[in-house]
Structure 1
């Protein structure tokens, strides 16, 4: 039952992304108080997370997105929230909307009205650089954040206890993930040196996107976790699930990932992508399906082996298919050991592979 059924409607934007011709942004309208993941006691951690679930979706809310064109003109688009409170702006950009040389976060504004009058909230949109040729698409659970999920009810319950009782900064990151992701992402641009409002978020040399079967309710939790652990920020494609086993289990996990990855890869026809995942929730087979369907677009595949069990017959077949396509694939228990794979991988045909290896080895 919603805790704030009569609270004023609020818009909660998720990270968007754009190209020179198209922009994608999702947000959600909820009757809830704004609750960020701040430090505090166990009760505060439980209260904050539960408030993200115990909320009342606002259907049929008119939302206006304002964005500034390269010539300084404000362009507006309108959309209406669906029955679950979600609103999606998937728009073509009129005229010329060139990208900067390097990736940066841009800002658009979302406007709506509630019982308290006209409202506005900024939303961040990732714009990969015009010179960007390689992006990274990553899983989340057991790829960057330890969950210990193996599909058993006990493992699922243990992870929900962690979510309820631990602040994001208290969660355990996968060992060496910060170093490995930092190497994949390349240079991180300091927002303190930027004048553009959107660059209050740090951008990396190579853009990151995240796909997961985790629910959209955990968006701010995951953002706080990545900030606390020094991991790169990027748009996330999550799912609309409640408190049930499918939220963190393997059911329908692969299908959602395949569709999400295809959408991102298709959004940027001039870029190739490295895929990063683990072997606990069908990433091997999902990545194999993507590689087969998007031939020539996948530069490399990284799989962290988190489970003790050997690969299933389906995973063995997917691995063979990936290798037959000539896509370099690393499968190992620790990102620390991945430096040998990185040494042998020419990700974009220039010095990127050497730079990545040097970065990883210098951090050891």
Structure 2
């Protein structure tokens, strides 16, 4: 980043901070927006964001694209609260400049879906708000699933920026569609081998509730989401790029499950083949298989090259325009856990 870019980003960061500060003062109540957390062998990682208020969107079938765009823009017009005190089970933290917080609590043998009650306090330690945050704490699973979202689970067109933006902003939770074959694949893998699912996406945290609503409606397996912060800071315009974010999230998930392998699921329309190749190199012996959705029946030279590089690692790699029938092939690779 050159001197001019640093100046622009610094100015933008200060303007964004002042706007959020102004809005949070106007909206006195403080609320916690809960995200789905995850677990390490020793800790529960509770995640969320402190906002001046939460926007509740009422969506109806048949509403206009203009209304959809307005509602989607509203999801990004958040008034974050920095420096807020968040507490759970006697452990406290403060929200960062974008309102995000993370609490690490002793796991104490807890497993399955764990509900953690979080509390928001003011400077005088008065309780302002309480919110339940869900945490997935797998039971000694030796294999986990790490899945992309856009064009892997949900139909988006993310490989085309124009199509991605059109699809994202003109649809709503009632019109957005998931791939039925993805929902079936994830359900069968989690049911027959009790594999926990983690989702990694370049979508912003502002869409966490949006995505979760779509997944719930479409019966997609529930799991922690590792999304991206698109906010400004004095050192960046947005967060790291698509590949860097996904790679870092994969590292975090594998670190949280140090004794297990992972199945990576994605698509060939973006850079998942390269991201997954790099993950295989970084975590030798820990990637059990890779599943990729083809963007169409014909793959261009660039995609074929990335796919060949991935296949050359020796990790079983499956790719097709559909995931139908892949569960049997994957289950053959994964021993039954006792």
| 2:133 alignment partner, SS class | strand
Q: Is the 8 A contact 1:211 1:237 kept in 2?
A: yes
Unaligned runs of 5+ in 1: 67-75, 188-203, 244-250, 353-364
Write the mapping of 1:1-364 to structure 2, written as runs, cut at 5 A: 5=24, 6-7=26-27, 8-35=29-56, 39=60, 41-42=63-64, 45-46=68-69, 48-66=71-89, 76-90=90-104, 93=106, 97-100=108-111, 104-113=112-121, 117-130=127-140, 132-152=141-161, 154-162=162-170, 166-186=171-191, 205-241=194-230, 252-307=241-296, 310-313=299-302, 315-316=303-304, 318-336=306-324, 338=326, 342-343=328-329, 346-350=332-336
Cα distance in 2 for partners of 1:338, 1:53 equals 37
Q: What are the Cα deviations for residues 23-66 of structure 1, in whole angstroms up to 9, with x where unaligned? A: 22221111123525654644775554333211111111111122
Give the 3-state SS of the residue equivalent to 1:57 in structure 2.
Answer: coil
Q: Which moves more between the two structures, 40-49 or 265-274?
A: 40-49
Q: Output one character per residue of 1:202-245: Cα deviation in whole Å (capped at 9) or x when no partner.
A: xx9211100011000000000000001110010011001269xx
The answer on whether the counterparts of 2:274 and 2:310 sit within 8 Å (CA) in structure 1 is: no
Residues 1:263 and 1:296: Cα distance change in structure 2 (over 3 Å): same
Contact 1:37 1:45 in 2 (8 A): no
Name the count of aligned residue pairs.
306
In structure 2, distance between residues paired with 1:135 and 1:301: 12
Q: Kindly report the root-mean-square deviation, in angstroms, between the aligned alpha carbons of the 2 structures.
A: 2.9
- Relative contact order (C-alpha < 8 Å, sep 6+): which is higher? 2
Normalised to the residue count of structure 2, the TM-score between the two structures is 0.81
5+ residue gaps, structure 2? 1-18, 233-239
Q: Hey, what's the Cα distance between the residues in 2 that align with 1:241 and 1:28?
A: 14
In structure 2, C-alpha distance between the alignment counterparts of 1:295 and 1:260, rounded to whole Å: 17
Q: C-alpha displacement at 1:329, in angstroms? A: 0.6
Q: Secondary structure at the match of 1:346?
A: helix
